Amino acid sequence: MASAVGERRGVLEPTRRATLDRLADEVVPGDDDAPAPSRLGVVEFFEALFTRERADEVAALRDFLDRNESNPIDTVARDPWFTAFAETVHEHYWTSPTGLRAVGFAPSEADEIQPG
């Protein structure tokens, strides 16, 4: 899922984007009632936060994704950067229109920001 944010910022390469999607979906798995973060634009959310101007944070995110490209979530959860990653995934998910509806808040159409 490419968006104007992802295209403009371009802080993550395709392999890292795929790793981020996979790990985010492990943190907040989708189900029949709610899509996984990868379907809601989690990569674009991270790229909007971790811009080129914040090179140290971009480097930390890239290092985290590289270290955990193939690791199962129980191994990833022991990574020192995992807590920050998981908190950011939750922030994205639970502030999205889907997450807000899941907790009983129904944003109006005007409030909704569509990913991608």
What is the per-residue pLDDT across 58-115, written as a single tens digit (0 to 9) for each? 899 999 999 999 999 999 999 999 999 999 999 999 888 888 887 888 766 545 555 5
Tell me the residue range of the domain where 44 lies.
Answer: 4-111
pLDDT at 9 over 80: no
Q: To 10 degrees, the CA torsion angle through 22, 92, 53, 23? A: -10
Residue 19 within a domain: yes
pLDDT for the residue numbered 104? 84
Q: Which helix (H) or strand (E) holds 21?
A: helix 14-27
Residue 18 · residue 39 · CB < 8 Å: no
In a domain, 116, yes or no: no
pLDDT digits (tens, 9 = 90+) for 10-63: 789 999 999 999 999 999 998 888 899 999 999 999 998 887 678 888 899 999
Domain assignment present for residue 50? The answer is: yes
Number of domains in the chain: 1
Beta-carbon contacts of residue 69 (< 8 Å; ≥ 6 apart): 15, 19
Q: Kindly report the pTM of this predicted structure.
A: 0.79
